[in-house]
Structure 1
Amino acid sequence: MGSPIHVLYVDADADVADLTATHLEREDDRFTVETAASTTAGLDRLDADVDCVVSAYEFPDTDGLAFLEAVREDYPDLPSVLFPGKGSEAVAADAIDAGVTNYLQRRDGTDQYAVEAAGDPIYTLDADGIFTLVNDAFCEVTGYDEADLVGAHFASILAQSDRLRGEEVVRSLRDPSVDRRTSELTLVCRDGSPVPCEIHLTPLPTRGDGSFCGTVGVVRDISARTERERELERERDRFETLLERVPTPLVYGHVIDDDIRVTRVNAAFEDVFGYDADTLVGEYLDEYIVPAEHGDEADTLNVTVRREGNVEHEVRRETTDGMRDFLFRAIPLHETGEDTVEAIGVYTDITEQKERERAMREQRERLQEREEKLIRLRNYTQDLAYADTPAETATVALNAIDEILGFDLGAVFTQAETQEGVLEVVEVLNQRQMEKMYGGIPVFLRDAPAGTHSELAWEVFESGESVFLNDTAESDLLARKSPFGSLMLYPIGDHGVVLLAATTLEAFTETEEILLDLLAATLESAFDRLDWERELRRQRDALERQNERLEEFASVVSHDLRNPLQVADLRLELAREECDSDHLGDVADALDRSQALVDALLTLAREGEPVGETEPVDLGEVAEICWHTTAAPDATFRVETDRTVLADRSRLRQLFENLYRNAVEHAGDDVTITVGATDEGFYVEDDGPGIPAEERESVFEGGYSTSADGTGFGLRIVEQVATAHGWEVRVTDGTGGGARFEVSGVDVAE
């Protein structure tokens, strides 16, 4: 194999250039062919590596001879070949005169070789459209053999629908002014299958007399492209259907400067905005749907779409339902000019969402305001807890109304203590203005005429239901014109009402209503506390007076009753020394009973005081000690507990002693008494006849006794001792059927 030969082939026809280069390289393995599409590109490519230059004759701006002459100026020894498509003897002579190394005109033989050597499907037709040459690639595409095609008419392998058009394309090349045609035609293969093709046709070189001699066609199978186009068409159809069915308004258009010129809208757009495609297409969109106050915003948005592409922005637009909020998304498709972008605009209605957001924001603000006011109100409720008088309490409440709610007209009314059916002012906020509005400080009378503030105030007070009027003139509750535009009346339990007023309409919101409701409830509690404290003071004073009387009674009993009893007892002793009479025994019993009554009354008078300090007391030990002081030698006593309790030892002894005496008096000298513990305290039980259920509530009343010898105060003293400790005592059935006294609420010592 010899040295490689580098050939530069220059031809304005790219298809011919490629075919020629392929032919040369296949002719000799030493050939390496580089092509150039113009004489200028050919001159730029020339260098020492090129071994031969081949040039066509026809060029748009010059001819091959001029090109080769220019080559010889710089490279006089470089071999050159002129290879015209349409030559003549004159051209050949000029080539030889110009010093061209060789002159070779393209003829049928050359075309045949080029056709056979080419890799693309290629064929040639004569002047009548009859196949004269086909290459292997063409046979492979169609499935025909060369012998089947050569001599057959070109139209015979075209689809029936394409035959007339195919023949028209071939005939058009007879016109000398037509140098090429490209057409999409469907070839029918030998097996009957259609093959969509793109065919590039050019006329063959004319004969010497200039007559048309045929065409050459280069075929490209576009089945895949056609299928893609069909698929794209199907996708486009589906997309079109989808767009029409999408419930979201869509608009297509060109963004020009700061506006959108409409090319299309979908059905949803027409429904929402009220303009059909016939009205909008070709028009500027913003002129129809953008409110005047949002014009600048829309212009800026359009410029952003044109310059930056995708845009997402919340906008307000005019619709058939008035102003609505939308999330506008602009999606640019492609640029159609220096300052123009084709885009699609999507309008998603977010009006309800924005309304919800606004409502939630307003609610958040109201709740935050309410929370802040509640915190401040809490400070005032603490002040109410320490107010000492109704006037001071009312002043604190009105200050809260002024400072927290921001209203400067109000008053607190309570029932008059000296007059029935009158609600009088306790305290007024902005007294001068209130007097001006009412013509003086108002007093609400129960028997006032219907439709007046007085009647309304009493209705609120007696029903316990508040009244909330944001327009007094429109209210059915007031028959007479009110000096206020807005009015609120809240009950304060059984004390009175709170009045809050404003000269304007719609002055009160839900927040004011809630806060005033809380304030009124707190004010009611404050007035309740004042009443309770007043009642406590009254009871305390009464108790002190009662205690004074009891002390006085105890002194009288102790001195004025005991002294005569003692004198009578001495006289009885003297009488027994002087005589012996059965009547003296009765006198002694009467004196003993009188002394027992005096002792019991003194105990009752002095045991009503609450127990102060307590101490750990061994329950069983105290019970034993008390039993030893009880005169009942035939009785049986048992202790069944070792519990230690917190109690006043001396008063606990009084409790046991009175229970023991009560058991002996009612159950007999041979009674059995048991002391034991319960979960909540202790019990004292006997085995006597017991106490009937219907009498168990009466046994603790003073003076109650079923024994002739009893004073009726023993169990009363027991209850007083228990109450003084904070205990409770009750009577129930004993284990053996007797009486059982249970004391509960007793604290056990650790």
Structure 2
Amino acid sequence: MSTSTPIRVLHVDDEPEFGDMVAEFLEREDAQLDVTSVTSAAAGIERLDGAQFDCVVSDYDMPDQNGLQFFESVRDSHPDLPFILFTGKGSEDVASDAISAGVDDYLQKQGGTGQYTLLAHRITNAVAQYRSKQEIEASQERLSLFFEQSPLGALEWTESFDVARMNEKAEEILGFTEEELVGSSWRRLIPESEQDGVAELFAEMLTESKAYDIEQETLTSDGERIRCEWHHRVVRDELGDVITIFSKFQNVSQRVQREKELAEERAFTEQALDTLEDVFYVVETDGTLTRWNERLGAVTGHSDVTLDGKDIRTLFAEDDHDRISGAIEEAIETGTATVEARLLTAASEEVSYELTGKRLTDPHGEFVGIVGIGRDLSERKERKAEIQFARDLLDQTERIADVGGWEIETATDEVFWTENLFDMLGVDYGQAPPLGEALDVYLEEDRQRVANAIETAVAAAESFDVEARFERHDGELRWFRIQGKPVLQDGEVVRLRGAVQDITDHKQREKQLEQFASIVSHDLRNPLNVAEGRLELAREECDSEHLPSVAQAHERMRDLIADLLELARGDERVSAMELVDLGELAGQCWNAVETGDATLVNEAETHFHADQSQLRQLLENLIRNAVEHGGDDVTITIGDQPDGFYVADDGQGIPPEDREQVFEPGYSTSTEGTGFGLSIIRQITEAHGWTVSLDTSTDGGIRFDVTGVA
């Protein structure tokens, strides 16, 4: 044996002197041997019960019990203890009986000292085998304990890699019972597509003395593929022979899935950071740059290789280095810090940036660095200036147009007024009052009209346009036009937005126009009526060739008066708004106008809100104009366009140099027209908030486009 562990030997022989001599020679032969001698089997049993021995050497022929009887007694209490029969009685029967009884070795006493060398060798060999067997049994016991108590699944394999046994955890993971799997090949647990690689691994395991750790797709009893982490081991004895093969494993499918999800989330985060218009960065406590987004490279002009591990301070103007260092220290101590500094580009240009950094910790709360965002202040300042410019422009526009803006939150009835609306009202509130108080600014007799319009707009999600009077603190009475439009969210009105326009001057002009219309209607029509009556009397008394011309002049005067009255109506002409079918109304207008042999192509299908009576007059005027200027056989087309409609003909058209004049009052190329028809058309469109324009049609005639139709 190569070990220096003492070998305790119990030598039993009824001759004391011979026993002492054997002990002396054995201990001389091998220093490991420690021999204790007794003279009887009974004394030997007593010594075995009281002390630990590694081997028993016994004589055969003894008075009380012979060597084989003593062997049987030893086996009762020490079944595996090596036993060598060393006897002077050398018969074949004794040797045969000894071997049959299970004695580990048999040696006959001989003359000379060489027999002690042989005996020492037999003892050490027997003890070596005994101890090896003990170690294997202990190892098997530990392996069995490991199998039963292991938190992982465990399989023991035969040398052909069939399942020899498995623990409960393995049954739980794989879904097989031990009875179902024992005796099965490893191939039952591995998908066919991966079996070649596993076969190579198992073949290598039988020739190599090392551990194998792999992740492997594994089949469960119901055919599900799970990802398992396997740890394969081959246990060998001192001679290198295989004692056993076993594998530990655990289901890591969830971990693999989590790792995949984390990788996807990491990739998504990287992409999201790269889409930022701001600079993203992570630095260590010493300012070393460890992570950044593409924006930093784009702004500075540095490559990722240049930025990697760079001191972030060197990316800024030298005068700002101390401020950057101070911000890093502040973020470490307080958790956050903000600093303004000039970022240097690769071309040595300076860009003002605001850096905000926060203390970055791992899941255990340990500090790992500073994460932050850098925002281009030059762009922010430009945007701020643009916003301020837009606000100033809106404010100036409101004041020039004498318009104020407002907004109502429908859920809370909170009201917002623009500054110019405060000025228009002549009030000095700190902020706009709630809706109930805001309506109180209007005269009591007009107040309900505004409230009803707001209530209807919220309920029906429709715009509104009403007029109401307001009395300033100085007693001046002003007229306001209040327009509102709903803002929808998920189909619900969440707020109303609109404008208030001071139309007091407009109302005064309307009053003047009413007075003018009254004069036209009374002071001009009465003399005309008298003239027409006198004409009739003249026709009864005589037949003059001049009388038809007089009648024609009277009729022209009546048309002029009618058109002047229409012009005098101004914006007042639009009143009740309703949903109009343009195609249907166009057909009705065609039938109401004397069109002769003219042809209508009605392609209109759109619907929109308008004052139907005024829209009717607009269409009739356009149809009449086309017939008068395009000829009796003119073709007139009425159709839709994206934000309105058009009326076109294939007549002679109007020269481009004359198109600016056609909408002016009194302009006409016909001796029969009043020259007010197209002026009335423009007035009707403007009263609706629309726009009318003139162009050449595809057939070379006139095309009137009405746009801005809601």
Q: Decide: shared fold, TM above 0.5.
A: no
TM-score interval, smaller chain: 0.3 to 0.5
Q: Which has the larger radius of gyration?
A: 1
TM-score by length of 1: 0.32
What TM-score do you get using the length of structure 2 for normalisation? Answer: 0.33
